[in-house]
Amino acid sequence: MKKPKLRELGEAIKAVIVGPYTSKFPAEMPEVPDRYRGKPNFDENECVGCGTCALVCPAKAITMEESAQTKLRRMVCRYDMCIFCGTCEVNCITEKGITLSHEFELSALDRKDMQEEVEKEVLLCEACDEIIGAVDHIKWVARRLGPRAFGNPLLMLTSLQSLGAADQMPRIDKEQVALKRGDRIRILCPKCRQETALVV
């Protein structure tokens, strides 16, 4: 039998005294550095459903689906496709809508279980039922603009309605009645608002 080299013998003695270098994961969860980028999590209260994170995600791990029938916008983050780059967090308009946690143990038996989602109500045009945007997003913009939001009928009416200071108007049936200039002070999509401006 070959005699162990002195260096190896030293290492063996050190390992007996200090203990192993490896962690005991999964029996014990190791601590990760503060800036570790783990699973992205939506915060339903901070996310306003603007869709920016879906636009900037380089891995297309975040998608946005919306329906005028259900009046809902659904943001889905598939963390089985995520590359943990942090671009969504950095570009989130509220800075807290999506954040990368320290979670790294993300294994699952079914990919369908590997997703995070958040749902937001959408605002529809009162004339054509097109989706204008997420209600929380519009309210967030109005809050950021403060009094200046009153220069925009959409922002003004959405804010006033959410405060209970303005009633919801009945829908305009464009098939029956043409849009009038007076309809400018209504919740309209850009296309319908343009029509009110073109009325002579």
- Are 158 and 164 in contact by the 8 Å Cβ rule? The answer is no
Q: Which is nearer to ligand SF4, 87 or 161 (CB)?
A: 87
CA angle 168, 71, 189 (to 5 degrees): 60
In the complex, the smallest distance separating the C-beta of residue 172 from ligand SF4, rounded to whole angstroms, is: 30
* φ, ψ (nearest 5 deg) of residue 76: -120, 130
- Within residues 92-151, the interface with ligand SF4 by CB under 6 A covers 92-94, 97-98
The one-letter code for the residue type at 176 is Q
Identify the residue among 25, 26, 48, 196 touching ligand SF4 (CB under 6 A): 48
Owner of token pair 């009094």: 147
The residue from 59, 108, 169, 199 that contacts ligand SF4 (CB under 6 A) is: 59
For residue 117, list its beta bridge partners: 76
**Is position 51 an interface residue for ligand SF4 (rule: CB under 6 A)?**
yes
Segment contacting ligand SF4 by CB under 6 A, of 2-10, 13-21, 46-54, 104-112: 46-54
The beta-strand segments (E) located in 69-141 are: 72-78, 98-100, 115-124, 131-134
State the residues that interact with ligand SF4 by CB under 6 A.
Answer: 40, 42, 47-53, 57, 59, 61-62, 75, 77, 82-88, 92-94, 97-98
